[in-house]
Amino acid sequence: MKPKAQAFLRRYWPVLTLIGAPLLLFAPIVLGRVWYWGVPLLQFYPWQRMAAEYYQAGQLPLWNPLLGSGAPLAANLQTGAFYPLNFLYLLLPTEHAMGYTAMLHVILAGLFMYAYLRTMKLAPLAALIGALAFELNGFLIARAGFFSMTAAVPWLAAWLWRTEKLQSAVSNRQSAISNTLWLALVIGLGVLAGHAQTAVYGLVFISLYFAWQAYSKRAALRFSVPRSLVLFVVAVLLGLCLAAVQLLPAAELTRESQRAGGLDYTKIMTHSFWPLRLLTLLSPDFFGSPAQNNYWGYNNYWENAAYIGLIPLLLALHPIWKRIRRKATPGPIGFLATTALVSLVLAFGWFTPIYPFLYNTVPGFDLFQGPARWLVVTLVALCVLTGFGMQHLIDHGVSRKATLRLILLGLALCFAGLAASFVLKGRAETFGPATLRLGVLLALAGALFQAKLQNPKPQIILVMVVVLDLITAHFALNPTLPPDIYRAANPTAEAIQAAGSNGRVFTFAQDEEQIKFGKYLAHKTADGQTVFDGFGPHDLAYWLGERAALLPNASLIDRLPSANNFDSLIVGRYQSLLDQIAAVPLEQALPILSRLHVGYVVSPRELNLPIVTRTSDVIVYRNDQVLPRVWVAPAESDLNSVSEIVPGSLVESLTDSGNAVTIRAASAQAGWLMLSDTFYPGWQALVDGVPVEIRIANEAFRAVRFPAGSHTIEFRYEPQSVTLGLIVSLASLAVIASGLTLLILRDARR
């Protein structure tokens, strides 16, 4: 190897490792396969493809006309419609862009953590081990298909890094303004990534970290503490302003949604961290794994996944143990240990009295479901502690007695695991392999901790063991299929299109749950609990059946308009209408569905309706009572319940461009022009170019006064929340960009 190449590898091998490890973990994606299981197919693919198509057509992706009888698109945080790092969706087919974008963020997670740990003056090996633990941890990888969360998590490490840089700049009287702007930029990007819960927890974490740093450095800072606080607050506010184009529409949607009054207790608490899953911090599959179709723990696997690797965990616990024994330890060990413990207790949710107390007494704790997601803070703290533990090991080593104990304990657990594999049956069969894995890794840890880690060979072996441990733990947690899962023809959609595509498709909530959780994504236990025990067969034909069942929101893949909307935030008045439909028998629901412009009902049940087609899971029925999407109703109609059409009225044309609907209609008498699209703030109407008021009709839809004669009616979606947000975001971006540019030019002239 040439000297220059050798020098390059010696210098950058940690960075190359952090890039290469995710590529190895996600090898099927690199080789052209795609994610499909759960939310990639049912949520993110439909959202991201539609957003990309808007941009490619030169429009902002503000409104989704194909789901929920029309629903906000950009206001849906999880779409990340204004997030710059979603650029791959504009360049690649959506099915591939999903996987590549997720890989990009996993790599960024490692690089950001590495940058922070190097800023804390840790050796490259120590920073690398902590960064590997963060980028390949179970919380992130098990949720990789939840693309908004995958995009948000890495930014917590970036926030930590830039907060430390800001604090150091203030204490050392360096360029504090530059670091303030960099912190604002990464905060803005992290919020734009699209997962509010992760962003809120992250902002709480870095605020506490900043406060702790300011307190611990108060002697050095002296009179700079107020200045430091001001700069940090400015960075946070400027970052939030940068994300205003996303935050203001999202706040509007939250206010208009079914969550406006907060979530109920059971909804929030269901995803709590099961205390027995603490065992999976040592070995990830004590209770099985959906990758092996044998998971049997509480709730679902990914909500409680938190494995950072056994060796990184031992390294994280080492400085805590030293601190407990009142021995000198470098860095923010006490703060990180406390943070990890407090966030872990919060993650327990309803398994302790603490979170229920906070839910009932502290505003804001009723906004997010899933206390287990506090684990993201726990894992950030543990991965930082891993770096400090590795540094201590490099500097001081470990006693031979301690390593010998690890080896002996590991060997004992190996024998116990082998024995358990032969003895234990039923669900407990998972204990044997998990114990064996734990034993092997403990023995390896003991052997590696004895090595001289200042030398290259032991370093490489240690890194390889950590990478292999994390990859084997998480490799199969994101099942893949060929791209045909999205590209293949859908015979159900083709049958509907052949029948005329007269109206939206609709699936009753109970039928959706039966298909989704009765076959494809989970199963129901005898006591009615939903168990995600496995990913099912890796067979393309089987999963094309899920597409053929037209589960919400899969119908959007085939461009079929749907009255359903699988989303966490639904327009409140529209959700109330869906609740009415779910509460009554078919004969009472059918008139409501007809007003929703539902022309096709998809159900596994036998219904008294004409049949369009059948699949192995569902029957598609035709609703012959369906009302048009647009019609003219009599002027004397009660807008709370109207279905009468003015005789002789005619809709001559309808053009839907997503953010606008243009209608040409004629009627001999005046009346109401009814549009069976969801009423929502931001829509404006014009009749022959003259603005008119939009009224709420049939509880959730739109109506405008229609004069007699032939007229052009235009509905435009131009929400003030987006306009104001865009102005604020552009102003913030201008401040950040111009400030950084001037500072860079100033430094270049020196």
Tell me the CATH number at 706: 2.60.40
Q: Name the pairing type of β-strands 598-603 and 504-507.
A: parallel
Helices 456-474/310-324 angle, 10° precision: 110
Kindly indicate the confidence band of residue 84, based on its pLDDT and cuts at 50, 70 and 90. very high
User: Tell me, what's the pLDDT at 685?
Assistant: 98
User: Tell me, what's the pLDDT at 218?
Assistant: 67
User: Tell me, what's the pLDDT at 713?
Assistant: 98
CA-to-CA dists, residue 184 to 179, 188, 213, angstroms: 8, 6, 18
Find, among 605, 423, 448, 438, the residue nearest to 518 by Cα. 605
User: Tell me, what's the pLDDT at 267?
Assistant: 84
Which of 569, 600, 622 is at the close of a domain?
622
CA-to-CA dists, residue 601 to 458, 491, 509, angstroms: 63, 16, 12
- Are 359 and 253 a contacting pair, CB within 8 Å? no
Task: Determine phi and psi for 704, rounding to 5 degrees.
Answer: -135, 155
User: Tell me, what's the pLDDT at 227?
Assistant: 82
* Mean pLDDT along residues 99-107: 98
Same domain, 237 and 180: yes
SS3 707: coil
Residue 432 lies in a domain: no
Residue % of the chain over a pLDDT of 70: 96
Q: Which two tokens stand for residue 450?
A: 């004895």
Same domain, 339 and 303: yes
Residue 60 lies in a domain: no
User: Tell me, what's the pLDDT at 329?
Assistant: 54
User: Tell me, what's the pLDDT at 220?
Assistant: 61
- The secondary structure element, H or E, covering residue 505 is strand 504-507
Judge whether residue 328 has pLDDT over 80.
no
* Mean pLDDT along residues 443-471: 93
| pLDDT digits 0-9 by tens, 200-247 | 999 999 999 999 888 887 656 555 778 888 999 999 999 999 999 999
Residue 420 lies in a domain: no
| pLDDT digits 0-9 by tens, 182-196 | 999 999 999 999 999
| pLDDT digits 0-9 by tens, 9-39 | 888 999 999 999 999 999 999 999 999 999 9
- Are 419 and 428 a contacting pair, CB within 8 Å? no
211-215, 414-418, 586-590, 641-645 — which is least confidently predicted? 211-215
Residue type for 226, please? P
**How far apart, in whole angstroms, are the C-alpha atoms of residue 177 and residue 263?**
40
Kindly indicate the confidence band of residue 725, based on its pLDDT and cuts at 50, 70 and 90. very high
Judge whether residue 571 has pLDDT over 70.
yes
Cβ contacts of 172 within 8 Å, gap of 6 or more:
none
Residue 687 lies in a domain: yes
| pLDDT digits 0-9 by tens, 685-715 | 999 999 999 999 999 999 999 999 999 999 9
Q: What DSSP letter does each residue of 369-429 carry, written as one string?
A: S-GGGGHHHHHHHHHHHHHHHHHHHHHH---HHHHHHHHHHHHHHHHHHHHHHHH--GGGG
* Mean pLDDT along residues 381-391: 96
Same domain, 104 and 246: yes
Residue 684 lies in a domain: yes
- Are 619 and 606 a contacting pair, CB within 8 Å? yes
User: Tell me, what's the pLDDT at 171?
Assistant: 62
User: Tell me, what's the pLDDT at 321?
Assistant: 84
Residue % of the chain over a pLDDT of 90: 82
Judge whether residue 281 has pLDDT over 70.
yes
Same domain, 226 and 307: yes
Same domain, 84 and 199: yes
Secondary structure letter of residue 749 according to DSSP: H
| pLDDT digits 0-9 by tens, 508-538 | 999 999 999 888 987 655 455 666 889 999 9
Which of 565, 587, 622 is at the close of a domain?
622
Q: Which two tokens stand for residue 685?
A: 């109407």
Judge whether residue 585 has pLDDT over 60.
yes
Same domain, 495 and 567: yes
Which of 622, 643, 658 is at the close of a domain?
622
Same domain, 324 and 188: yes
Same domain, 324 and 199: yes
User: Tell me, what's the pLDDT at 130?
Assistant: 98
Judge whether residue 170 has pLDDT over 90.
no
Same domain, 134 and 212: yes
Q: How many domains does the chain have?
A: 3
Domain of residue 714, residue span: 630-718
User: Tell me, what's the pLDDT at 524?
Assistant: 54
Same domain, 160 and 202: yes
SS3 57: coil
Residue 437 lies in a domain: no
60-64, 174-178, 500-504, 509-513 — which is least confidently predicted? 174-178
107-111, 318-322, 527-531 — which is least confidently predicted? 527-531
User: Tell me, what's the pLDDT at 456?
Assistant: 87
**How far apart, in whole angstroms, are the C-alpha atoms of residue 63 and residue 486?**
23
Residue 403 lies in a domain: no
Three-state SS string over 555-622 comes to HHHHCCCECCCCCCCCEHHHHHHHHHHHCCCHHHHHHHHHHCCEEEEEECCCCCCCEEEECCCCEEEE
- The answer, yes or no, to whether the previous bond of 553 is cis (omega within 30 of 0) is yes
Average predicted confidence (pLDDT) for the chain: 93
Same domain, 525 and 457: no
Kindly indicate the confidence band of residue 5, based on its pLDDT and cuts at 50, 70 and 90. confident
**How far apart, in whole angstroms, are the C-alpha atoms of residue 694 and residue 683?**
8
Residue 93 lies in a domain: yes
Question: Which position has the higher pLDDT, 463 or 259?
Answer: 463
User: Tell me, what's the pLDDT at 263?
Assistant: 78
Q: What is the pTM of this model?
A: 0.94
Same domain, 672 and 701: yes
* Mean pLDDT along residues 381-399: 94
User: Tell me, what's the pLDDT at 702?
Assistant: 97
Q: In the β-sheet with 619-622, what is the strand arrangement from edge to edge? A: 504-507, 598-603, 619-622, 611-614
User: Tell me, what's the pLDDT at 1?
Assistant: 63
